Amino acid sequence: MPTIGIVNVNTSSSMTQTIVDAARTVAAPDTTVIGVTPATGPESVETHIEAALSQVGVITAVHRRHTAPVTTGTPAIDAWIIAGYGDEGREALQELVDVPVVDITEAAAVAAMAVGDRYAVVTTLDRTVPMIRGRLQLAGLHERCVSVRGTGLGVLELEEDPERTDRIILDLARQALTDGAEAVCLGCGGMAGRAHELTARLGAPVVDGVTAAVGIAESLVRQGLTTSRTGTYAPRSPKKLTGFEELEIP
């Protein structure tokens, strides 16, 4: 009975709800999905500064939830999903908690590679393209990626006119097929919930990183796998963290 925590990377609780809703549509019947919204940070993450500031809120929120007393209403989290596409943060959470952590950028790539030879990513602003490409490269999942394309839409604009958003995404997705992609990832946590309809309209698999991450998180839990502590994620030595004392990170 896996309990999956999903941490949003921005402070928008409505976006957290969108993400959790999408996650629940694909969770196994015995899986519980719990959403967490950071108390601090940017209202959307689209730049390197925002990604940096976002991380502190994400770490804090996960730390608090993960160290909260387990009660009937607040079950222990068995795995975390970090719902920022192309953002940093997975590695820090892997250090922080004793359960698996799954990144939606990576999960989307894994699902896309399972259903097509090469894949593409359609994301928000062009400026995030190098951030996403960088994450995929670091994750060793970039080789089969033919392109990362920006829609020019900001994260917060996605919901303004959903049909226009879908049309713009579809346009780029079709170009991606021409690039040689056979599947397309939605490059933003805020695009969660659109994959089904877009798949139908595109005629090729459209992958949502949030729903892709749920199955991987469940799977790691059921396999009993947890983050390796033999290398870069070894336990930290206690150390003075000026300004973050309340975090109580050992």
Compare residues 78 and 218 and give the one whose CB is closer to a copy of itself. 218
What would the two tokens of residue 203 be?
A: 């005629």
Question: Which residues on adjacent β-strands are paired with residue 102?
Answer: 81
What amino acid occupies position 232?
T
State the minimum distance, in angstroms, from the CB of residue 106 to a copy of itself: 8
**Local structure of residue 156 (DSSP, 8 states):** G
Select the span of 13-21, 43-51, 164-172, 186-194 touching a copy of itself (CB under 8 A).
Answer: 43-51
Does position 95 interact with a copy of itself (CB under 8 A)? The reply is yes
> Given the rule CB under 8 A, which of 13-21, 70-78, 163-171, 214-222 is the region that contacts a copy of itself?
214-222
- The Cα–Cα gap between 205 and 184 comes to 6
Residues 12, 140: Cα–Cα separation, whole Å: 30
Which residues in 109-128 contact a copy of itself (CB under 8 A)? 110-111, 113-118, 126-128
Q: How much is the CA Rg of the chain, to the nearest whole Å? A: 17
Of residues 145-184, those binding a copy of itself (CB under 8 A): 154, 177, 180, 182-183
| CB of 84 vs a copy of itself, minimal distance in Å | 13
Residue 138 binds to a copy of itself (criterion: CB under 8 A): yes
- State how far the Cα of 206 lies from the Cα of 213, in Å rounded to an integer: 14
